[in-house]
């Protein structure tokens, strides 16, 4: 096995390699129409670069014909046996206009649209970012969260937006990574995202500094009211407290 084959074998069978698992997964990749894996991205596993890494899967850049896609790979130590549930939830989010478009999936892989852009941390740290840009992005994030709430899909991790929001050069917003999503829990996407945007953490500090935002009793009251009754009027009251 040459070096490139060794790297591919390790990465698609991460973190516990076996010959049987590798051969099975390689067949799956071919069945999805993927012609090559591109070891590129800001995350490192050993000396290899990848696009993303989580507790359930890692994300690779993959090519099918002339198109680049994101390929989510189920970790061999994941707490689930297949990617079926996550794929179904991503399809549901897609039907509401949210998340990267799912293309195909198999037991161990989800092939989806590759979102080009910056994490919200990198985006908000850009020089010369304007108040209007920040307001537009914040509104868009919260509006997408409201759509998820009304679609009865709880993302589950939007209190940590730095890992779950990508912003493009045109400031388009994409909520990603539905591995912890559920349609069984009470939805809290808006309140979780608002907390990450304004009430704690690095992203919050940057946004509040740019917008000169100070949370007050009205803001907390608006969040509490929305939490009890997730309707359009209560959502708009939250948005109005940002401006």
Across 6-21, average pLDDT: 92
Per-residue pLDDT, 221: 95
pLDDT band at 1 (very low <50, low <70, confident <90, very high): very low
pLDDT in tens, 19-61: 999 999 999 999 999 999 999 999 999 889 999 999 999 999 9
Segment 207-230 shows an average pLDDT of 92
Q: Using pLDDT thresholds of 50, 70 and 90, give the confidence band for residue 5.
A: confident
**What separation in angstroms does the CA of 71 have from each of 74, 119, 208?**
10, 18, 35
User: What pLDDT is attached to residue 4?
Assistant: 63
Q: State percent of the chain over pLDDT 90.
A: 87
pLDDT bracket for residue 201 (50, 70, 90)? confident
Q: Is the peptide bond before 15 cis (omega within 30 degrees of 0)?
A: yes
What's the pLDDT tens digit per position in 61-72? 999 989 999 999
Provide CATH 1.10.510 ranges for the chain. Answer: 118-242
pLDDT grade for 127, boundaries at 50, 70 and 90: confident
Q: Which CATH number fits domain 118-242: 1.10.10, 3.90.550, 1.10.510, 1.10.60?
A: 1.10.510
Q: How far apart are CA 234 and CA 11, in angstroms?
A: 46
CATH match of 3-113 with 3.30.200: yes
DSSP state of 200: S
Q: Which CA distances in Å does 153 have to 25, 67, 190? A: 30, 29, 11
Closest among 236, 234, 239, 214 to 224, alpha carbons compared: 234
- Determine how many CB atoms are found less than 10 A away from the CB of residue 74: 23
Average pLDDT over residues 174-188: 96
Average pLDDT, stretch 109-122? 96
- Model confidence at 229, pLDDT cuts 50, 70, 90, reads very high
Q: How far apart are CA 242 and CA 208, in angstroms?
A: 10
Considering the chain, tell me which residue range(s) the CATH 3.30.200 domain(s) occupy: 3-113
Number of helices and strands (H, E) in the chain? 9, 11
């Amino acid at each position: 096995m040459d070096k490139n084959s060794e790297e591919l074998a390790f990465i698609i069978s991460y973190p516990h390699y076996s010959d049987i698992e590798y051969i099975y997964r390689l067949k799956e990749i071919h069945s999805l129409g993927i012609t090559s894996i591109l070891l590129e991205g800001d995350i490192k596993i050993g000396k290899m670069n990848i696009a993303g890494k989580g507790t359930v899967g890692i994300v690779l850049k993959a090519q099918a014909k002339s198109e680049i896609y994101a390929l989510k790979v189920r970790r061999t130590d994941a707490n689930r046996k297949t990617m079926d549930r996550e794929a179904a939830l991503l399809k549901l989010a897609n039907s509401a206009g949210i998340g990267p478009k799912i293309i195909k999936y198999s037991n161990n892989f989800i092939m989806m649209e590759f979102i080009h852009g910056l994490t919200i941390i990198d985006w908000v740290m850009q020089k010369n970012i304007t108040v209007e840009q920040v307001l537009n992005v914040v509104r868009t994030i919260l509006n997408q969260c409201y759509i998820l709430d009304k679609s009865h899909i709880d993302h589950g991790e939007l209190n940590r937006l730095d890992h779950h929001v990508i912003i493009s050069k045109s400031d388009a917003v994409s909520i990603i990574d539905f591995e912890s999503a559920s349609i069984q829990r009470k939805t809290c996407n808006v309140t979780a995202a608002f907390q990450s945007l304004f009430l704690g953490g690095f992203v919050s500090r940057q946004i509040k500094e740019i917008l000169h935002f100070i949370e007050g009793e009205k803001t907390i009251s608006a969040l509490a009211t929305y939490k009890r009754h997730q309707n359009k009027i209560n959502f708009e009251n939250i948005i109005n407290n940002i401006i």
